[in-house]
Amino acid sequence: MSSSRDIEEGLSFAPQFGADGLVTAVVTDAKSGDVLMVAHMNAQALAKTIESGEAWYYSRSRKKLWKKGESSGHVQRVVELRVDCDQDALWLKVDQLGPGACHTGRRSCFYRAVPLGKAGSVTLEFREAEKTFNPKAVYDKKR
């Protein structure tokens, strides 16, 4: 068991998987810096990402290992992988192949904004309403 100081200041990679066996992975576009998506990795997804330089995740809904782009072709080439202070979160800077990362057909999963300064119920505002690809055509083609 690593000490808090070892985890924060050391050079040993000791990812702190949660009780569910996962760490959070934040994915940004290496060129624009925009956040494309937030996903999760188990130990196997992380090992495959490190070895291959392409992003693998663990799908909580489908309960399976998943290579980004395996259906869509929208593979993520990892430019840099970073770990945070307490080693329970990862940051992937990626070259996103194809027109987008989001399963809804958009470049980024973060296409709506939450207006600030108001209490109570909130109405979202689209920032990128337009789709850059047709998810039905992309994801259904192999099924």
| Least distance to its own copies, CB of residue 15, Å | 9
Cα angle 26, 73, 111 (rounded to 5 degrees) comes to 45
Residues 92-131 that bind its own copies (CB under 8 A): 102-104, 106, 109-119, 121-127
Distance of CA 87 to the CA centre of its chain: 16
Pairing of strands 23-29, 35-41: antiparallel
| Least distance to its own copies, CB of residue 13, Å | 4
| Least distance to its own copies, CB of residue 139, Å | 14
Burial class (CB in 10 A: 0-12, 13-18, 19+), 106: buried
- Which residues contribute to the site for its own copies (CB under 8 A)? 8-13, 24, 26, 28, 32-35, 37-38, 47, 49-51, 53, 78, 80-86, 89-91, 102-104, 106, 109-119, 121-127
